[in-house]
A and B are shown apart, each in its own frame.
Chain A
Amino acid sequence: MTFLTYLISGLALGSVYAIIALGYTMVYGIAKMLNFAHGDIIMAGGYVAFFAFTKFGLGPFMSILLSVIVSTILGVVIERLAYRPLRQASSLSVLITAIGVSYFLQNTAQLLFGADTKIFPALLTEKSFTLFDGQLTISYLTIITIVTCIIIMIGLTTFINKTKIGKAMRACAEDKGAAQLMGINIDTTISITFAIGSGLAAIAAVLLCSTYPSLSPTLGSMPGIKAFTAAVFGGIGSIPGALLGGLLLGIIENLTKAYLSTQLSDAIVFAVLIVVLLIKPTGLLGKKENVKV
């Protein structure tokens, strides 16, 4: 039973990683850049939800909505101001800019909200239920997290496959030049990608902060790196890959913490990543790219 408990909480953590990983993977797939500031959007989303709920007295739903809206705008503005002028630049320049944006967001948050850790309120629910005669306790938050992840996955997959914008996104991921010749507006498509990724980051922020209720300016870094790892794990650029990578990473992390060692869980998670990449060099569900000679 305890195994099941760890597995389910691992699944919940993995769901959060998966939602964040979607942001990384979509941006990588379409803009071909590693957006290291993505983790800090999570942090921003967390603070917005925190202030909306505790200071402005908005309800849980309105707080989350506001958090999503602000994060989405933030994501789009960052793309417009910082990344768009670098469309022709080397990937390293873009990477350094993303790091600059990351530092910028963290330090702005520190100036505005202070460096101290804030306790995130129980925005969603603190209740839980028991199964098997009380042997297994599951919190509703865990269920909400997993269900949210499933809904997002289904919604996003439908969006990408069925809508016009979704098709434009796939076309851009395949070949930007050709997409442009077909009349697709690259800039708009990339903006939408950032908007979706950032909005998802805000949802992830609320779920993450509800599970681990502490809020600080560097909140996003580690989940950011982990989710990025998850995206690579599943095959960066692949949406089902992000889900698979996120879930596996969450489960592996939780089970290692439970059965092997808390201190070594990071080392083990990253070691698993390396082993997976050695066996499948483009991640679990990644496509192999062929070079034409």
Chain B
Amino acid sequence: MSRPVLEVSNLGIDFGGLTAVNNLNLEVNEHEIVGLIGPNGAGKTTVFNMLTKVYEPSRGKILLDGKDIEKMNTVEVNKAGVARTFQNIRLFANLSVIDNVKAGMNNHCVYSVFDTLLHTRKRNDSEKAINEKAEELLKIFNLYENRNITASSLPYGAQRRLEIARALATEPKVLLLDEPAAGMNPQETDELMNTIRFVRDKFNICILLIEHDMSLVMNICERIYVLNYGTLLAKGSPDEIKNDERVIKAYLGD
């Protein structure tokens, strides 16, 4: 049994009087790809928002590498090793493709404002290093050719890939992917699956992903959590989930 990187226990959040997520227990282990599925409005994205502290959870505990993230804000959670993508793509639309990735490396190139203004060696070396790293990432995601165009002019599928590349640039321990294959055609989805596996191995990270494309989820995920009305409906291997009565009922309705 490998070590859990992300451990969530009894997590819940209320909006006004409405309980959006309740009593959620979840863990993502080292080197694992875990799926988080469920019907629309089940609270999947809300879970991501709590994990990244965009929303403050009302209850429960989130441990990252055994450390409680209760006191952290979004920025600190990222520094601690959680990176994410967004369901409705959130790129830096006016920056070039490569600058989107370099922005992700902001906390990994340390030079001061004075280094910046004086163009010191430290600044130049650091810029050179992140430039190489960014180019390498773009090559993995098949974006290298387009590195100098503005992010908003990329096609939809490419924008989704760029978001993943940018998240990876922050050197996370856990990567949260919110519907990475949405809007992609089957061929693109296939390529994406390979890329996700590839980066998991190359950067030795674990991945939690929300997805509606069942072929992708069943193919790529080692374990799956099913969320319905904000609570955990089922968890298990893809085969177990596929044959779970409750899950089928939740998806197809009564």
Contacts and interface: CB of A to CB of B under 8 A. Distances in A.
Please determine if A and B sit in direct contact within the complex, based on CB atoms under 8 angstroms apart. yes
5 contacts: A293-B45, A293-B49, A293-B54, A293-B55, A293-B86
A293 B20 CA distance: 14
Which 5 A/B pairs are nearest by Cβ-Cβ distance? A293-B54, A293-B49, A293-B86, A293-B45, A293-B55
Interface string B194-217: 000000000000000000000000
Nearest to B55: A293
Interface of A: 293
Interface string B49-85: 1000011000000000000000000000000000000
Contacts of B86: 293
Contacts of A293: 45, 49, 54-55, 86
- For chain B, which range describes its interface: under 10, 10 to 19, 20 to 34, or 35 or more residues? under 10
Interface of B: 45, 49, 54-55, 86
A263 B49 CA distance: 50
Q: Tell me the interface secondary structure of chain A in the complex.
A: loop
Contacts of B54: 293
Contacts of B49: 293
A293 B45 CA distance: 8
A293 B210 CA distance: 15
A293 B86 CA distance: 8
A97 B55 CA distance: 38
A34 to B, nearest CB: 24
A154 to B, nearest CB: 31
Nearest to A291: B54
Nearest to B84: A293
B35 to A, nearest CB: 20
A292 to B, nearest CB: 9
A293 B54 CA distance: 8
A293 B55 CA distance: 9
A197 B55 CA distance: 39
Contacts of B55: 293
Nearest to B90: A293
Nearest to A292: B88
Contacts of B45: 293
A70 B45 CA distance: 54
B43 to A, nearest CB: 13
B17 to A, nearest CB: 16
